[in-house]
Structure 1
Amino acid sequence: MQLLLLTLVSFIVLTSEAAPEPPRRRTTVSIVKDQFYINGQPTFRGRTWNGYRIEGLLPNSRMVQGIFDDQNPETRAQWAYPDTKVWNPDRNTDEFVAAMPTWKQHGLLAITLNLQGGSPQGYSKEQPWHNSFFNADGSYHPYYMRRLVRILDKADELGMVVILGYFYFGQDERLKDEAAVINAVDNITGELLEKGYQNVLVEINNECNIRYDHAILQPDRIHELIRRVKAKKLRGRRLLVSTSYGGGTIPKENVVREADFLLLHGNGVSDPNKIKEMVQQTRAVAGYRPMPIVFNEDDHFDFDKPANNFVAATSVYASWGFFDYRMKDEGFDEGYQSIPVNWQISSPRKKGFFEKVKEITGVSF
């Protein structure tokens, strides 16, 4: 009898250890028709600006290099900090996390991260560096995970949303085959659910129509992975999910029918009127129903002018996201995508964006 009781106790303990309750979280993002809600309330409740509805929008910035590292010893040295002359991935994440409260104070509610980063040169044809959260078989590096958790935890604490991209073209080939891609999706989605994060919006891959090696990451099949994330649930909860396309591209019907929200990119779209047209065309795609439309990448600025892409998107009730990289002959203080990054609001371009966010959202501090 005593042996039986001990066996039962051991079973209960092992079962409890195998399936612990996820940590209690502070921030939950949800969608009601075409509005984003945080903790059960629409964002910027009741807010209008210049006659435009702001309530329910999600202003964001592309900060994809928050967990960047380079596993290629031949390219790693080129990301050295100007003061120390060495690259340090922990410093990068430390400084990212330290800057997040300032971004939030200006009204920024969301940041886009990517588990395989983005081009640390802004735009690049070749990508010899090796920056991937995932191993070749779809498992993941614990060092990357530790840095990711730090950012997700801080965002949760601040009431911010993370648009988390899983894959980036130029790095997706680090996974050996389609089975590894599927394994990677299952692994990270499961981890996010197990860790209890409710402030994450999934972007399967950045610009699915640009140079992906694996067919399942390309436009005709990307909806399969959207479905896969939607199907993975823990205690009745799942993650909201979509994907994005290259600049100026309208989402395809297979994605519109499956996604929880739609991601557009304004790269290459210099006329603000074209931004409005993109939103209108997206709403006309077969399968569209009321859902949020979000630009989470646009490298056009003109924040001091009455007409710019940010204002244009806002005028047709679409959220807008800033994409800033270090341009030719610019220094360390410029750009949020070019490694190494100064994550503070350290340049006129960054200041212009954040001042515009503050103006549109009405946030004061």
Structure 2
Amino acid sequence: MKTFFTSIFALLLISFSLNSFAQQKRKTLVEIRGDQFFINDKPTYPGRYWKGNKIEGLLMNSRMVQGIFDDLNPETVKNWEYPDTKAWDADRNTAEFIAQMPNWKAHGLLSFTINLQGGSPFGYSQGQPWINSAFTESGEIREDYFQRLEKILDRADELGMAPIVGFFYFGQDERFTDEKAVIRAVENAVDWILEKGYTNVLIEVNNECNVRYDHEILQPERVHELINLVKSKEKDGRRLLVSTSYGGGAVPKENVVKSSDFILLHGNGVKDPHKITAQVEATRNVAGYSGQPILYNEDDHFDFDQELNNFTAATAAYASWGFFDYRMKDEGFEQGYQSVPVDWGINSDRKKGFFNLLKEITGY
């Protein structure tokens, strides 16, 4: 019996040592101080101004939600065949994502959103018969998804990037059996991130909480409960920074604003850049707003060659901005970061337009 307990103690000690080592080797720490993002004790883009607009402290990003995509539905997986191999390959997708990350960072991209239930691989869609979820129906994690996620988060840590990990996506949340499974999924995902020792990760509970979610706890009136759940979980005195988003053009409600560490906005449907400025101002006037950073992590408007566009309007309002691009009808493989299969390079005119303007604004 003594030998048995000695063995158990030794295993626990080894486990503790491995977890401690994981935390010690992490290179990137993201923090929020006032309305600014800090990475490794320095504000992002330190000292940077562009056309009179302060850039220091912003977190420019792109919607890269399909980095760990897979389809567990044998009836729909054929939709995602690569043009060269005529087959889908989830590991290839993640490997090609990782290969491009240094290129994104070299243009000034410090963050990207990656989702555990992806996003529509057609850009926008009503029905979603494909099955793309890093969680089982009961809220347990699927190891293959999280192994791919680990590779991406490890590389982000090495590069000094601060990814936004989104948990849920409408159209896939319905696969959970009940609310308890949703809560279990949040707990399991947060525990996994904390156990791995990541200090560079931000959390988006769900993408556009006011759009077609089946479970009430993922809808606007109650989603703050999940935000607070994420905030309540700590390891070694640290917790994850968390928020959630609404649909394009919407201003978050008071319950979300009060609970969130940073405020997520979407610019879809906002064609007039002046309305981006108005959206930011309206958000700052919501009851309970306490000066948190405001960050767009989805906007499918471009016009990057124009003096005024949604990107520059957000920047002028001191809000971070996020590029959302998908492959439109009859476009080639190089187009879009959300459409599967994905060309993760900077190979289309829209991608080049965004990254060139990003590099100019951030001074990279």
Question: Normalising by structure 1, what TM-score?
Answer: 0.97
- Compute the displacement of 1:19 (Å): 3.6
- Compute the displacement of 1:175 (Å): 1.0
Q: For residues 173-212 of structure 1, what are the structure 2 equivalents within 5 Å? A: 173-212=174-213
The Cα offsets for residues 103-131 of structure 1, whole Å up to 9 and x where unpaired, read as 00000000000000000000001100000
Aligned partner letter, 2:318: Y
The Cα offsets for residues 225-259 of structure 1, whole Å up to 9 and x where unpaired, read as 00000000001010000000000000100001010
Which of 5, 9, 13 does residue 12 from structure 1 map onto?
Answer: 9
- Compute the displacement of 1:8 (Å): 6.3
Look up the match of 1:45. Answer: 46
Look up the match of 1:80. Answer: 81
Q: 1:330 to 1:19 in 2, by over 3 A?
A: same
The Cα offsets for residues 160-197 of structure 1, whole Å up to 9 and x where unpaired, read as 01101000000001111000000000001000000001
CA distance in 1, matches of 2:109, 2:122: 24
Secondary structure at the aligned position of 1:358 is classed as helix
Determine whether 1:275 maps to 2:276: yes
Secondary structure at the aligned position of 1:161 is classed as coil
CA distance in 1, matches of 2:289, 2:218: 22
Aligned partner letter, 1:278: Q
Look up the match of 1:241. Answer: 242
Aligned partner letter, 1:306: E
CA distance in 2, matches of 1:192, 1:19: 15
Aligned partner letter, 2:92: R
Aligned partner letter, 2:317: V
Q: Name structure 1 gaps, 5 residues minimum.
A: none
The Cα offsets for residues 20-56 of structure 1, whole Å up to 9 and x where unpaired, read as 4340200010000000000010001111000000000
CA distance in 2, matches of 1:224, 1:311: 34
Secondary structure at the aligned position of 1:225 is classed as helix
CA distance in 1, matches of 2:143, 2:96: 20
Look up the match of 1:172. Answer: 173
Look up the match of 1:304. Answer: 305
- Compute the displacement of 1:7 (Å): 6.1
Look up the match of 2:143. Answer: 142
Moved more, 9-18 or 27-36: 9-18
Q: 1:121 to 1:8 in 2, by over 3 A?
A: closer
CA distance in 2, matches of 1:256, 1:34: 14
Aligned partner letter, 2:123: G
Moved more, 224-233 or 17-26: 17-26
Look up the match of 1:62. Answer: 63
- Compute the displacement of 1:10 (Å): 3.1
CA distance in 1, matches of 2:182, 2:4: 40
Look up the match of 1:220. Answer: 221
CA distance in 2, matches of 1:178, 1:346: 42
CA distance in 1, matches of 2:32, 2:193: 19
